[in-house]
Structure 1
Amino acid sequence: MRITIAHNNNEETLKVVAHLKKLLQKKNVVFDAKYPDVVITVGGDGTLINAFHRYINQVSSIRFIGVHTGHLGFYTDWRSYDVDKMVDALFLREPESAKYPLLEANLITESGEKKRYLALNESAVKRVSHTLEADVYINDQLFENFRGDGLCVSTPTGSTAYNKSLGGAVIHPRLKALQMTEIASINNRVFRSLSSPIVIAPDQWITIVPNVDHFVMTIDGSRLDVRNAKKIIYRISNKVINFDRFGHHHFWSRVQNAFIGDKDDPV
């Protein structure tokens, strides 16, 4: 088994990483940062997302394991004090993965140039100081003429991130669906959009045709300044991300812990 560890540089994280390396060395693992079978991230969700993009060309052949050393994360199954149990579980059973869908974004410019991106959480199209005007298509049928700050398209795993802060629904990651939420849409007698999140089927796609020559596109929070774009096509990718399935935590437990908490917790 070839393993690599991706981590942030927080003091607590570095202690966990040092301990984790000792445990793995006792198992005689091969540390391979170039072609790993397993990527263990230590930090938070941001650390795992960064590792996902680092290994994006190998993503379908890698299993990810997240250890969090800060606030509760949605991609980090294990706490720092559970590292010994995690290593034991990793070597005491056959590998099993939970496969979650990814978002594919195809940006096509006016000159016909095509750029392809993959996102674990979401991609947003927006303008910073001006209104975004765009035509939105579902499949090849015009759905709405949007005016507002922007639009966000998210995966089920990303539904608890930026999407949720925009009023989108939380979707279980085993569902292969895309969700689009509006960012501060303008609705009056002249301009009208749905003003509600929409969830589309896995064999459908969303096309955004901007009616402006300059806007910002984000991929998992990374910013791209885009000019002269003809359209952006969003769909479920045929690639997936594989998380090592330990049965350690459950999605709805994470949602409950992150956003609701225990009823006896102080407000």
Structure 2
Amino acid sequence: MMENNTIYFFEPNNKNSKKIVSDLKLLFEDLGITAVERSEDARIVASVGGDGAFLQAVRKNDFRSDCMYIGIGIEERNYMYVDFNYHNLAEIKQVFKMNNFEVRNYPVIEVKINDNQPNYCLNEFTLRSSLVKTIMMDLYIDDFLFEHFNGDGIVISTPTGSTGYNKSLGGAVVDPLISAMQVTELGSVNNNHHRTLGTSFLLSKARPITLVIDRSVDYYPIMSMDNEALSVQNTETVKVKLSDKTINTIKLHNNTFWHKTQRNFL
């Protein structure tokens, strides 16, 4: 059993959350893991809810790499980030009592808009025009001008984010053991004046990407990271790269990313 542990519960806005969290606190206290009131004091951060709650827990704890995240579902359904379920407390108790779990590192994307402080995401970063028209931008890989983009927007995802929005756009599903980010186009325009690659592609950590917005039109791009919108005006450049940060997640044995992908999509 893990020693000298503390746990913080990130609660969903749910009418049953108080009872659920109370039951979970008692369970972990029986295992010698003390619940704390401040997330910065915790060695384990537990999200209580679905994948959205997990993403919020990671974001609101600043993508800490000095703790472990665990997802505990409250509904009888399959998830991508959440391995455990409130309706099977016996499994949680047995797994922690026997140390029968794995700790997996997931890569994180860093996004820097203009000269602002960097933001981070675990799933994907999305940029699109807020107007009923396409957005034009230059796409640089390193310092190399790769293409002039004209279309609805761009999605840049981590491997764990590749199964969500990115997959619906025709992007590839990427094994999280591969340290890469995937770039996928949204409704690109290809004609005699504009030409894009027309397919998603992967970039390694050594190859950051820069989006330079065409300032001849006031696009006011809409940007989002994971499940939250970014409010930034006068966007000129967006620099995206794989961060040195990773997050540590507690997962069940024999419940890999590919097990979850099969359950959710096949």
Does the TM-score normalized on the shorter chain lie above 0.5? yes
Match status 1:65 vs 2:70: yes
Whether the 8 Å CA contact 2:128–2:153 is kept in 1: the answer is yes
Against the structure 1 CA distance between its residues 96 and 87, is the aligned structure 2 distance closer, same or farther, given a 3 Å change threshold?
same
In 2: Cα distance, 1:95 partner to 1:69 partner: 20
Whether the 8 Å CA contact 1:77–1:248 is kept in 2: the answer is no
Match status 1:104 vs 2:100: no
1:49-83 CA distance string (max 9 Å, x none):
010011115x1011011122233110001233332
Partner of 1:21: 25
In 2: Cα distance, 1:97 partner to 1:252 partner: 16
Whether the 8 Å CA contact 2:52–2:227 is kept in 1: the answer is no
Match status 1:92 vs 2:94: no
Aligned-partner residue type, residue 121 of structure 1:
N
Partner of 1:8: 12
Map 1:148-227 → 2, pairs under 5 A: 148-212=151-215, 213=218, 214-227=220-233
Could you list the runs of 5+ residues in structure 2 that have no partner in the other structure?
A: none
In 1: Cα distance, 2:134 partner to 2:227 partner: 20
Q: Secondary structure at the match of 1:227?
A: coil
In 2: Cα distance, 1:40 partner to 1:87 partner: 14
Aligned-partner residue type, residue 114 of structure 1:
N
Tell me how far 1:94 sits from its aligned partner: 8.4
Against the structure 1 CA distance between its residues 99 and 150, is the aligned structure 2 distance closer, same or farther, given a 3 Å change threshold?
same
In 1: Cα distance, 2:236 partner to 2:119 partner: 16
In 2: Cα distance, 1:14 partner to 1:85 partner: 21
Match status 1:236 vs 2:239: no
Match status 1:133 vs 2:139: no
Match status 1:80 vs 2:86: yes
In 1: Cα distance, 2:91 partner to 2:100 partner: 16
Against the structure 1 CA distance between its residues 81 and 38, is the aligned structure 2 distance closer, same or farther, given a 3 Å change threshold?
same
1:103-159 CA distance string (max 9 Å, x none):
001111xxxx32210101011111122321100011110111111110010000111
Partner of 1:123: 125
Aligned residues: 255
State the TM-score, normalizing by the size of structure 2.
Answer: 0.89
Match status 1:249 vs 2:251: no
1:196-240 CA distance string (max 9 Å, x none):
001112211111111144211111131123332331111110010
Whether the 8 Å CA contact 1:23–1:84 is kept in 2: the answer is no
Against the structure 1 CA distance between its residues 87 and 9, is the aligned structure 2 distance closer, same or farther, given a 3 Å change threshold?
farther
Q: Secondary structure at the match of 1:163?
A: helix
Whether the 8 Å CA contact 1:182–1:195 is kept in 2: the answer is yes
Tell me how far 1:96 sits from its aligned partner: 4.9
Q: Secondary structure at the match of 1:232?
A: strand
Deviates more, 1:84-93 or 1:35-44: 84-93
State the TM-score, normalizing by the size of structure 1.
Answer: 0.89
In 1: Cα distance, 2:68 partner to 2:19 partner: 23
Deviates more, 1:146-155 or 1:7-16: 7-16
Aligned-partner residue type, residue 80 of structure 1:
Y
Whether the 8 Å CA contact 1:157–1:173 is kept in 2: the answer is yes
Q: Secondary structure at the match of 1:89?
A: helix
* CA RMSD in angstroms, aligned pairs only: 1.9
Aligned-partner residue type, residue 237 of structure 2:
K
